[in-house]
Amino acid sequence: MNHIQITTRMGALDLQVGARFLDTFIIISGENGAGKTTLLRCLAGLEQVEGQLTVGGKMWLDSIAGFELPPQRRQSGCVWTDAALLPWLSIEKNIVLGAEPVDAEWLAELADLFEIAPLMQRKPRMLSTGEAQRVALARAIYKRPSVLLLDEPFSAQAPAIRQRLRLRLKSMQERFQIPVLMVSHDVEDARVLAHEHWHMREGKLLAALSCHSRAGGNPDQQKVANHD
């Protein structure tokens, strides 16, 4: 069981989130400024927060005990709205950065899954926004993270490829059995991917909905938590 109980204030945003969740696919929605991206950044260790975080059976944060695991040791795979690729490196080197030795077979599998195989020797400036986004997804998954934190990872994709990416990302989550927390405003993302759907407003997690019947039809959503 994974556990979030955190608070932080950033400007006008007062973030207060408490939740428990399994190693499932969670879609996070809410209006602009609701705190969705801030929540992901807090989980990644990129913002100062108070409270407790436990992910994958490991304590990431216990502010009362004065313990905070640094970002590089959290083994989180992140995709932000800015792909943040290093412009002086090839796409291949961006994906495997910091991982030695290179797992060529795994790299080739990811390149095929995210439809970037022809791009591997190019530089980031040669990519479209959608291509850069798919590279960022491959980079986030390459090191086999303990959790995926995704901020609108399909926003620049055409509808057809977006649907293919949904199914491939869902397959990855099922294969590795890790929690995926993904910010999205797309109802189809929630319909296809979500085991849980979290809705946020003004820094609060208002409700978590458990979504069932993933294959075909509309998910049966049941309110399981309320954090007003």
**Model pLDDT for residues 68-123, shown as the tens digit of each residue:** 999 999 999 999 999 899 999 999 999 999 888 999 999 999 999 999 999 999 99
Taking only the tens place, the pLDDT of each residue in 134-145 is 999 999 999 999
> Could you give the residue ranges of the DSSP H alpha helices within the chain?
36-44, 91-96, 104-113, 129-142, 159-176, 187-193
Domain spans in the chain, listed from the N-terminal domain onward: 22-46+72-226
**In terms of pTM, does the model score above 0.85?**
yes
Residue 208 has pLDDT above 90, yes or no: no
pLDDT of residue 212: 54
Using alpha carbons, select from 185, 212, 183 the residue that is nearest to residue 196: 212
Domain 22-46+72-226 has CATH 3.40.50.720: no
What is the number of helices (H) and of strands (E) in the chain?
Answer: 6, 12
**In Å, what is the CA distance from 46 to each residue of 79, 112, 187?**
13, 31, 28
Percentage of residues in the chain with pLDDT exceeding 70?
Answer: 93
pLDDT of residue 217: 38
**d(C-alpha 48, C-alpha 27), whole Å:** 23
Among 125-129, 143-147, 207-211, name the one with the lowest average pLDDT.
Answer: 207-211
CA 107, 113, 119, 123 dihedral sign is negative
Taking only the tens place, the pLDDT of each residue in 1-31 is 999 999 999 999 999 999 999 999 999 999 9
